[in-house]
């Protein structure tokens, strides 16, 4: 039986959580994205930008920010990984359109490139972009939860995921030590798997990048 797959990046690679129609679920991790995408799946969602502009901010990011705040990073562009440092990148972008990139986005530029190299318009029919905070906002009845860095926020997110089938998540969080997988990375991968199974909504979709990829965030 094919699974619904959620993926998130972490310091040493990628973590994937999956759940199938019977409720069986598990997680895996790998230095490279393609090994995890080889897990048979009906649909996958990844917490990483898909569809990149050459300048300016993506409309889907701006719309998502209105709903869940600064957890949505601005400035995803296809050439971001070509700059030697963040200061050089921001000097270039601000000269062109006065829109720089955040430190958080700069730090994931290599993973953005890995996703961009893997994606095609055909593959996007099965693999979509999602954002965990949008997913949790939707699962919670379209209200913002406590910050995920707080104990209250973590418990809220774990409870929502347990309600949707990830009953082993609390145990998994004790097994990740020594892997480099952050607590939030595993939680977010599970959220993306829930979106892969259940999502019917998105922000964006109107903008198409030069490679034919839609710029949209599913939740």
How does pLDDT run across 182-213, given as a tens digit for each residue? 999 999 999 999 999 999 999 999 999 999 99
pLDDT digits (tens, 9 = 90+) for 100-152: 898 999 999 999 999 999 999 999 999 999 999 999 999 999 999 999 999 99
Distance of alpha carbon 93 from alpha carbon 155, whole angstroms: 39
- How confident is residue 26, by pLDDT bands cut at 50, 70 and 90? very high
Output the pLDDT for position 55.
86
Calculate the average pLDDT of the chain: 96
| Stated pTM of the model | 0.96
């Amino acid at each position: 039986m094919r699974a619904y797959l959620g993926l998130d990046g972490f310091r040493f690679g990628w973590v994937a959580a999956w759940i199938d129609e019977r409720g069986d679920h598990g997680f895996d991790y790998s230095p490279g994205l393609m090994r995890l995408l080889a897990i048979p799946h009906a649909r996958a969602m990844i917490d990483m930008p898909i569809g990149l502009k050459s300048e300016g901010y993506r409309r889907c990011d701006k719309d998502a920010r209105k709903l869940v705040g600064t957890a949505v990073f601005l400035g995803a562009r296809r050439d971001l990984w070509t700059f030697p440092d963040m200061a050089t990148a921001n000097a270039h972008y601000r000269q062109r359109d006065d829109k720089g990139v955040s430190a958080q986005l700069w730090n994931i530029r290599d993973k953005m490139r890995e996703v961009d190299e893997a994606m095609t318009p055909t593959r996007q029919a099965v693999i979509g972009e999602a954002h965990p905070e949008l997913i949790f906002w939707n699962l919670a009845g379209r209200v913002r939860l406590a910050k995920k860095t707080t104990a209250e926020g973590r418990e809220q997110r774990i409870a929502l995921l347990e309600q949707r089938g990830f009953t082993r998540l609390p145990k998994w969080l004790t097994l990740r030590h020594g892997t480099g997988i952050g607590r939030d990375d595993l939680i977010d991968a599970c959220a993306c798997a829930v979106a892969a199974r259940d999502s019917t909504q998105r922000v964006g979709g109107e903008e198409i990048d030069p490679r034919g990829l839609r710029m949209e965030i599913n939740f």
